[in-house]
Amino acid sequence: MPTSALSNQRWVTMVGMSSAGETRWQPGSQILWTYVNPDFPGLLDQRPVTVVADDDRHLAVWLAPGSRMLHQVIADGSPIRSLEGSDRFMAPRAQAIRDWAGAGILAVFQPEIMYSVWLFETESGLRDSYYINIEVPYVRTDVGIETSDLVLDVVASADGSYRYKDEDELAFAHEAGLFSGSDVAEIRQAAANAVDDVTAWRFPFDAGYQTFQPHPDWPIPSLPHDASWTFES
């Protein structure tokens, strides 16, 4: 079973960790990195990415600049963050598409771990800015991975400093009924575990991805041919 024991079963993935001997994606393979939200079935946050590494310890993927991505908006096409408080989590939504703006990111996922790490390139030329996304442990599908976002995040730097992000949104999500009090406690513990890994500079922070550069011959992956959306943003 997944590490997560969120009491709200809508948020618990149905597949456990990778089994021994499972087929791995080779570097250069194109897969889909997908976030699902049980409160809005049928709507996706989906990113076509290229596999950098895939082994028993981690999966690393590259999201290239300009990648076409599915994401969610309010039913009238407005950004979700245009709403305040718990309305941000309760208002009807629609499917939209956009291009990934700015430099690409390297994302690292670990089996049974309730966070992923997104490495951003800074002015130094290194990928030494770390966005730690708290989420349900990922599961593999035929076309990639699926997970669910758990709202709270941590932003860390190469010097080990960090700050929590979106604590107010976690409170709004709790107010909206998305998470119980015990769920919130588990989410906060997952963030604390990530902070412990940062301060101790444990994997994946010590994995050497700070100098990563994508292979120049890698094409930008595409969304599935049957992807559909209502708004383009």
Q: For residue 233, what pLDDT is reported?
A: 87
pLDDT at 92 over 70: yes
| Torsion over CA: 120, 122, 124, 130 (sign) | negative
Band of pLDDT at residue 18, cut at 50, 70 and 90: very low
Q: Give the phi and the psi of residue 195 in degrees, each rounded to 5.
A: -60, -40
Q: What is the pLDDT of residue 102?
A: 84
> How many CB atoms within 10 Å of residue 74?
19
- Could you read off the pLDDT of 140-186 as tens digits, one per residue? 999 999 999 999 999 999 999 999 999 999 999 999 999 999 999 99
The overall average pLDDT reported for the chain is 92
What tens digit of pLDDT does each residue of 200-230 get?
A: 999 999 999 999 999 999 999 999 999 999 9
- Domains, the chain: 26-216 (2.40.380.10)
Q: How far is CA 53 from CA 14, 61, 126, 227, in A?
A: 24, 7, 19, 26
pLDDT tens, 37-47? 999 999 999 99
What is the band of 23 on the pLDDT scale with cuts at 50, 70, 90?
A: confident
